[in-house]
Every structure is written in structure tokens, then in C-alpha cells.
């Protein structure tokens, strides 16, 4: 189920993060909330450009970087060619299908590293990237 937000709610959510809610920023934010596919800049551009021709790829890119800076999105580098953006910022891992390119969320991933080795370090984020072939692609091959 995709949650629906009113424009006022979206504006509030952005303001709470210290982001000035411009029209374009609201549209990009709305897209991220309604399309939980870990999209690329291109995915977002292709969908939003139909309705908002004034929205450029550069604006989308800059908006996403601002969101990331403010902790609103997580930038994923699971894809070697393109950055993917995740609106879900609570800790979780990702599985990337090497056939269809889909990225799945993986919850409850236990990262088996020795925290003692990082004693005194301030850990910002931990990424778990798993690559393989998803269930759907195994069926169709
Ligand atoms: Zn697949
Ligand atoms: Zn995710």
C-alpha cells in the first residue's frame, strides 16, 4: 500500500528537515514516497517530465543530493553505473537482481563485523549489498 500525502503534509515533512519546500522538491519527494523502487535520476526524470516539463535532470540530481545531505534519502551505490536513491532510511540491506536490475529491501540483516576494531570510530552508515538473481527471473529462465 502506497501512502498518499497532501501537499501541505509534504511541505511540513520537508520543512522539518530544514528543506525549503519548492514546487520541484515537493514533486521529487512525492515521487520517492510513492515509488519505492530505489529509483535512479533517470527513472524519476522520465516519470515526472511528462507532467512537469520544467523539471530538469540537474534539478532532480541536486534535489536528491540535498535530501541526502539532510538525511531524508540514502544514496545506494549497489549499481556500478548509476546511483539509486532510497527514501527508506532506517537500516536495511539490499538485494540487486543482476538480470532485471530490480532492487529489493532486505530487513534484519546481521552485519558480522567486529565492532571492537572500530572502537573510537563514529559509524555513519553500514551498507549490505547482495547480488544475485531474483525469484521472478529464475522462474522465467
Ligand atoms: Zn530479477
Ligand atoms: Zn531500500
Give this prediction's pTM.
Answer: 0.86
Give pLDDT, residue 141: 62
50, part of any domain? yes
pLDDT tens string 4-27: 899 999 999 999 999 999 999 999
CA of 133 to the centre of ligand 1 (A): 5
Same domain, residue pair 68 and 107? no
For the stretch 66-74, contacts whose Cβ atoms lie closer than 8 Å and that sit 24 or more positions apart, written own/partner, are 66/19, 66/25, 67/19, 67/28, 67/29, 67/32, 70/17, 70/18, 70/19, 71/17, 72/14, 72/17, 72/19, 72/29, 73/32, 74/125
What's the CATH number where 41 sits? Answer: 1.10.10.10
What pLDDT, in 10s, does the model give residues 79-133? Answer: 888 999 999 988 899 999 999 999 999 998 877 777 788 889 988 777 889 999 9
Query: Per the domain annotation, does 113 fall within a domain?
Result: yes
Which range marks the domain in which residue 100 is found? 93-140
**Residue 138 Cα, ligand 2 centroid: separation in angstroms?**
22
Q: Which of 86, 105, 123 is the last residue of a domain?
A: 86
Give yes or no: residues 28 and 75 share one domain: yes
28-71 confidence digits (pLDDT tens): 999 999 999 999 999 999 999 999 999 999 999 999 999 999 99
* Distance from residue 127's CA to the centre of ligand 1 (Å): 21
C-alpha of residue 73 to centroid of ligand 1, in Å: 24
Q: What span, in angstroms and rounded, lies between the C-alpha atoms of 32 and 30?
A: 5
- Considering its fold, how many domains does the chain have in total? 2
Ligand nearest to the CA of 106: 2
**Which CATH number goes with the domain that contains 118?**
3.30.1490
Ligand 1: centre distance to CA 44 (Å): 20
Question: Is pLDDT above 60 for 135?
Answer: yes
Over 102-130, what HEC string results? CEEEECCCCCCCCHHHHCCCCCCCCCCEE
Tell me, in angstroms, the distance from the centre of ligand 2 to residue 38's CA: 6
- pLDDT confidence of residue 1: 56
Determine the distance separating the centroid of ligand 1 and the alpha carbon of 23, expressed in angstroms.
34
18 and 62 belong to one structural domain = yes
Amino acid at each position: 500500500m502506497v501512502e498518499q500525502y497532501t501537499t501541505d503534509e509534504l511541505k511540513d515533512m520537508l520543512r522539518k528537515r530544514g528543506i525549503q519546500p519548492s514546487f520541484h522538491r515537493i514533486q521529487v519527494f512525492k515521487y520517492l514516497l510513492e515509488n519505492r523502487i530505489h529509483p535512479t535520476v533517470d527513472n524519476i526524470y522520465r516519470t515526472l517530465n511528462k507532467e512537469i516539463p520544467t523539471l530538469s535532470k540537474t534539478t532532480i540530481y541536486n534535489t536528491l543530493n540535498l535530501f541526502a545531505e539532510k538525511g531524508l534519502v540514502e544514496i545506494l551505490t549497489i549499481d556500478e553505473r548509476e546511483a539509486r536513491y532510497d527514501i527508506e532510511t532506517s537500516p536495511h540491506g539490499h538485494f540487486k537482481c543482476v538480470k532485471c536490475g530490480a532492487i529489493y529491501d532486505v530487513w534484519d540483516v546481521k552485519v558480522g563485523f567486529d565492532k571492537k576494531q572500530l572502537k573510537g570510530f563514529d559509524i555513519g552508515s553500514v551498507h549490505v549489498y547482495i547480488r544475485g538473481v531474483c525469484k521472478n527471473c529464475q522462474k522465467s529462465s
